[in-house]
Amino acid sequence: MEIIKYPSREEWPLLLTRPALNVSMLFDTVRPVLNEVRAEGDAAVRRYEEKFDNVTLSDLQVSEEEINEAKNLVSDELQQAIRTAKGNIEKFHASQRFTGQKVETTTGVTCWQKAVAIEKVGLYIPGGTAPLFSTVLMLAVPARIAGCKEVVLCTPPDKDGRVHPAILFAAEVAGVNKIFKIGGIQAIAAMAYGTESVPKVYKIFGPGNQYVTAAKQLVSLKDVAIDMPAGPSEVEVIADEKANPDFIAADFLSQAEHGVDSQAILVTTSEYIVDKVVRAIEGQLEKLSRKEITEKSLSHSRIIVLDNEQEVIDFTNQYAPEHLIIQMENYSDVAEKVENAGSVFMGAYTPESAGDYASGTNHTLPTNGYAKAYSGVNLDSFIKKITFQEITSEGIRNLGGAIQTMAANELLDAHRNAVTVRLKTL
């Protein structure tokens, strides 16, 4: 893990880099799979499930029997935790409901917006090294609150052709319509194009590996919308001399265990805490079950000491972290100055894992600096806003002249005439 003390601003661009792969390099690998699924449907999906997930499937869809059986395989304690998280996610996202107002922009001219749910959405839930049942809640709960009519979920099965029971339980609790045993590129293709089994959806959500990310980007060019560009997960901790080194170390490691390409950064004005944090990381690392993955992630993580608080804020807004943890005495004041971040965790007792699971906020967030322009998943992600306008005869009298003048100056005579013919009748 690099430790950099008092770098000049000219050195910042190098320190802002992520270990992310340029997924455009994978397009040539991904494109043939997408094309075959589009052309051959279920047959291609099964073929790639056998190739990539090492499983031969007769049925792609998870049966009611499998869903019911999953309930008996999930402990009461985990079931209760999932229900608690679902309740908090539901409460927070329900508070985001849009209420449109009619506005009279000119006398006789009324405009307004109406929020309408995206009818069909697809959720991708990675299998990989950990069953991300929490992501099921983060995506399916707001989809249901928004009013999406069809919520389809794809997730890779294990070698026995089964889906992790906690994913199935979370999907049922959150109200998913259909669950499919499909992973990777072929899952994105199935939802983007539709197959005999899998409905075509209008927008795809969810994280995944570099191949899933590349597939999402390709299908989004013309076939389906996606939630956001995404890369490896990341956290930035900003701390002062009074921060608890054990808390910082725990947050570092909870991020690093996501994957070998995850990144954790500590930015501080205090040299005093650096050695303490390093020792705490080393001590806690030894106790982790995912130690090998975490160590690889730490190899491209950094501790950066800067001169003052303003430099910390400026660096943070340039880095635009997916997760930002503020462990500073004046954390509320610092948080007010944050302009670019996916989700902010304020104060010593607010770990990133709270937002990952159960506080209520969404954990599907922009990475790789995209927080400069993208929001994390929220209720609006599942909604379209349609604009309406109504103009009375008085309204067209009041506004018609401006419309005619603008149309004439853009040399669009038919546009001007659409107003002129109406005004002649008045």
Tell me the pLDDT tens digit for each residue of 160-180: 999 999 999 999 999 999 999
The answer on pLDDT for 185 being more than 90 is yes
Annotated binding-site members for Zn(2+): 255, 258, 356, 415
pLDDT at 127: 82
Quote the percentage of the chain above a pLDDT of 70.
Answer: 99
Tell me the pLDDT tens digit for each residue of 40-49: 999 999 999 9
The answer on pLDDT for 130 being more than 80 is no
pTM given for the model: 0.94
Annotated binding-site members for NAD(+): 124, 186, 209
CATH code of the domain occupying 2-20+231-360: 3.40.50.1980
Annotated binding-site members for substrate: 233, 255, 258, 323, 356, 410, 415
CA 302 to chain centre: 24
Query: How many whole angstroms separate alpha carbon 409 and alpha carbon 141?
Result: 49
Tell me the pLDDT tens digit for each residue of 300-352: 889 999 999 999 999 999 999 999 999 999 999 999 999 999 999 999 999 99
Q: CA angle, 208 as apex, 207 and 209 as ends, to 5°?
A: 145
- Confidence band (pLDDT; 50, 70, 90) for 129? low
For the residues 62-72, what does the mean pLDDT come to? 95
Could you give the strand order of the β-sheet that contains 263-268, starting from the edge strand earlier in sequence?
Answer: 2-5, 302-305, 263-268, 234-239, 323-327, 343-346
Which of these ranges, 179-183, 208-212, 263-267, 314-318, has the smallest mean pLDDT?
A: 208-212
For the residues 283-312, what does the mean pLDDT come to? 90
Which of these ranges, 75-84, 249-258, 384-393, has the smallest mean pLDDT?
A: 249-258
CATH code of the domain occupying 392-423: 1.20.5.1300
CATH superfamily of 23-226: Nitrogenase molybdenum iron protein domain (3.40.50.1980)
Mean pLDDT computed over every residue of the chain: 95
Ordered by start, the domain boundaries in the chain are 2-20+231-360, 23-226, 392-423
- Confidence band (pLDDT; 50, 70, 90) for 21? low
- Confidence band (pLDDT; 50, 70, 90) for 289? confident
pLDDT at 294: 82
The answer on pLDDT for 252 being more than 70 is yes
- Confidence band (pLDDT; 50, 70, 90) for 128? low
- Confidence band (pLDDT; 50, 70, 90) for 290? confident
Annotated binding-site members: 124, 186, 209, 233, 255, 258, 323, 356, 410, 415
Burial class from Cβ neighbours inside 10 Å (0-12, 13-18, 19+) for residue 221 reads: exposed
With contact defined as beta carbons under 8 Å apart, do 135 and 364 qualify? yes
Which of these ranges, 16-20, 142-146, 167-171, 381-385, has the smallest mean pLDDT?
A: 16-20
For the residues 372-380, what does the mean pLDDT come to? 97
pLDDT at 118: 98
pLDDT at 392: 98
* Interstrand relation of 203-205 and 225-226 (parallel, antiparallel or unpaired): parallel
With contact defined as beta carbons under 8 Å apart, do 267 and 317 qualify? no
- Confidence band (pLDDT; 50, 70, 90) for 257? confident
pLDDT at 20: 66
Tell me the pLDDT tens digit for each residue of 91-122: 999 999 999 999 999 999 999 999 999 999 99
- Known catalytic residues? 322-323
Fold match, 2-20+231-360 / 23-226 = yes
Which of these ranges, 11-15, 100-104, 132-136, 207-211, has the smallest mean pLDDT?
A: 207-211
